[in-house]
Amino acid sequence: MSNLSAFFVASKSDAKSYMNQDFSVIPRDSIVEASGITDLEVSTLYALVKREEFDFDKHEFEPSDESDAWSLYRLPSRFVKALVGLQESEIDSICEYWANTEEMACEAEPLVPLVQSLRRIAALVEKGRDLYFCCSL
């Protein structure tokens, strides 16, 4: 069974509430569901969006909170800014590279709407709210 995962924009307290099953605290248009994606795959995307070679020390995320069932990650502002700065013309090639990584090993086409949606919600980040990624364990 694949893990459940999602990206969302929230304050720290709302992120914790969301992880405790209070889904009403996050507006629906601030959430992107992405079943089957893990923190390693998101870290790989981070490197690709930044046009850097993947390096665990530089791109790996540390959980900001976790339980026996899930992990929550606050994504770095460098990643968020890079997502917001993506041009539409760059998304296809980033998805092609991402799809061909050992971690993903999939078709690129389904990744395009995911990256487009991540770019959209990354633009919603403002003072007091961050972009989070959560995944079930």
Q: What is the pLDDT of residue 2?
A: 59
Q: Using the predicted structure, report yes or no on whether residue 67 has a pLDDT greater than 80.
A: yes
Q: What is the pLDDT of residue 3?
A: 78
Place of tokens 């959980």: 63
What mean pLDDT comes out for the span 72-94?
Answer: 97
Euclidean distance between CA atoms 86 and 91, whole angstroms? 7
Q: What is the pLDDT of residue 1?
A: 38
Q: What is the pTM of this model?
A: 0.93
What mean pLDDT comes out for the span 2-22?
Answer: 90
Instruction: Say if CB 129 and CB 13 are below 8 A apart.
Output: no
pLDDT tens per residue, range 92-111:
999 999 999 998 999 999 99
SS3 of the chain: helix, strand, coil, percent, to 5 = 45, 15, 40
pLDDT tens per residue, range 43-62:
999 999 999 999 999 999 99
